[in-house]
């Protein structure tokens, strides 16, 4: 059976708050999504979902966005006909700008805690997904955006030198949590991670390929067809063997967070609400604004 699925995570037209999720899960009982979204030909013998992140202007990960994202993911995970997921962006030039800085600036400790729990949830769900996950990185992907890509099984990036990817937290005066660090170290190794995290390195696509942060570069207009080709290869592997192998590789990292979740939330809240950190975030937000003037 062939199943096609697409999930659009969007923000409401009214602005940054109040996202909505438009879903077009095509199965026997559901309508197919529009043909322009079709990535996989009917010949593909298993189901694949394409998640287009569409949260203007930069797909930053707000609490609302993360909540919708996790709900969408959970539904796909429960759909046994869906074996693969491609995550990409509908926003020009940006895959995801990472965590929404406005969620970390000037917010109450309670709200910060709620936000951080949602960030953890996104990571736990994606890193532990049974599906084959491919990030089709068609734009810049700093910090939390990079983390999201790193949770996937395979990363294809658009070969556009102005795009960057990396865990640049130190540039904002903040520290990537241990599970961000672990996810990167699991991908590119300890030494590269240590240097990248201390310096807050943002890599262009060629550099990212060289250190193994991404697996493949393609011209931007070929990113979804490249994802389709890779997906076909991965779909040929029996699910149970691939899933057990994935779990064996990732479980220790996942367990480390699940057994420290509350403490990790408390750490985040204590850290992010400090006056000095709030000052750093404000300065960073001002830099982002000034870019335009
Ligand atoms: N959050 C909120 N708003 C953002 C963010 C963000 N992460 N990124 C950009 N914006 C806003 C800008 O302020 C701007 O707003 P406005 O239109 O009101 O002026 C708008 O989005 C568009 O931004 P740009 O003009 O900069 O868009 P460009 O297309 O030129 O560039 C980039 C896109 C490359 C994504 C650029 O915006 C950028 O570099 N953004 C900052 C990315 C970043 O540093 N993110 C880090 C977030 S922190 C994180 O993810 C992990 C934190 C871990 C916390 C651990 C604590 C213990």
Whether 168 is in the pocket of ligand 1, judged by its Cβ within 6 Å, is: yes
Which of 57, 89, 118 has most ligand 1 atoms within 8 Å of CB, for mutation?
Answer: 57
Of 113, 19, 111, 12, the residue nearest 61 (C-alpha): 19
As annotated, the active-site residues are 99, 144, 168-169
* Residue 280 CA to ligand 1 centre (angstroms): 14
Give the mean pLDDT of the chain: 86
Q: What is the pLDDT of residues 100-141, one digit of tens each?
A: 999 999 999 999 999 999 999 999 999 999 999 999 999 999
pLDDT of residue 290: 86
Whether 177 is in the pocket of ligand 1, judged by its Cβ within 6 Å, is: yes
What is the distance between the alpha carbons of residues 281 and 100, in angstroms, rounded to a whole number?
A: 11
Which of 16, 97, 278 has most ligand 1 atoms within 8 Å of CB, for mutation?
Answer: 97
Q: What angle do CA 166, 206, 52 make, to 5 degrees?
A: 60
Of 188, 181, 190, 219, the residue nearest 203 (C-alpha): 188
pLDDT of residue 7: 44
What is the distance between the alpha carbons of residues 209 and 217, in angstroms, rounded to a whole number?
A: 7
247 pLDDT more than 60: yes
Tell me the angle at which helices 239-258 and 261-272 cross, rounded to the nearest 10 degrees. Answer: 60
pLDDT of residue 292: 67
pLDDT of residue 241: 98
- Closest atom of ligand 1 to CA, residue 174: 56
Whether 55 is in the pocket of ligand 1, judged by its Cβ within 6 Å, is: no
pLDDT band of 291, cuts 50, 70, 90: confident
pLDDT of residue 81: 87
What is the distance between the alpha carbons of residues 214 and 267, in angstroms, rounded to a whole number?
A: 30
- CA 62 to each of CA 21, 26, 188: distance values in angstroms, whole numbers, following the listed order: 14, 28, 27
Q: What is the pLDDT of residues 73-97, one digit of tens each?
A: 998 999 888 999 999 999 999 999 9
Q: What is the pLDDT of residues 264-290, one digit of tens each?
A: 999 999 999 999 999 999 999 999 988
**CATH classification (class only), 40-292:** alpha beta
Mean pLDDT of 50-69: 93
19 pLDDT more than 90: no
The residue extents of the domains of the chain are 40-292
């Amino acid at each position: 059976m062939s199943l096609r699925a697409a999930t659009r995570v969007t923000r409401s037209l009214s602005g940054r708050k109040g996202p909505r999720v438009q879903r077009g899960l095509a199965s026997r009982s559901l309508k197919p999504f529009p043909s322009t979204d079709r990535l996989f030909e009917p010949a593909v013998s298993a189901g694949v979902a394409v998640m287009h992140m569409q949260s203007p202007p930069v797909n930053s990960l707000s609490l609302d966005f993360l909540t919708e994202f996790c709900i969408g993911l959970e539904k796909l995970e429960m759909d046994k006909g869906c074996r693969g997921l491609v995550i990409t962006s509908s926003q020009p030039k940006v895959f995801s700008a990472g965590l929404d800085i406005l969620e970390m600036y000037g917010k109450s400790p309670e709200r910060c805690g709620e936000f951080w729990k949602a960030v953890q949830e996104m990571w736990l769900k994606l890193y532990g997904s049974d599906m084959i996950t491919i990030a089709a990185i068609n734009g810049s992907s700093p910090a939390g955006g990079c983390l999201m890509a790193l949770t996937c099984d395979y990363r294809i990036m658009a070969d556009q030198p102005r795009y960057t990817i990396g865990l640049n937290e130190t540039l904002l005066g903040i520290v990537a949590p241990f599970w961000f660090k672990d996810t990167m170290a699991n991908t590119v190794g300890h030494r590269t991670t240590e240097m990248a995290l201390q310096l807050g390195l943002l890599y262009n696509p060629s550099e990212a390929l060289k250190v193994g942060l991404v697996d493949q570069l393609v011209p931007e207009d070929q990113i979804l067809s490249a994802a389709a080709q890779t997906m076909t290869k991965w779909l040929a592997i029996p699910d149970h063997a691939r899933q057990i192998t994935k779990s064996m590789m990732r479980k220790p990292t996942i367990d480390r967070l699940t057994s420290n979740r509350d403490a990790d939330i408390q750490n985040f809240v204590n850290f992010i609400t400090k006056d000095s950190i709030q000052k750093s975030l404000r300065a960073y937000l001002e830099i982002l604004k000034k870019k335009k003037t």
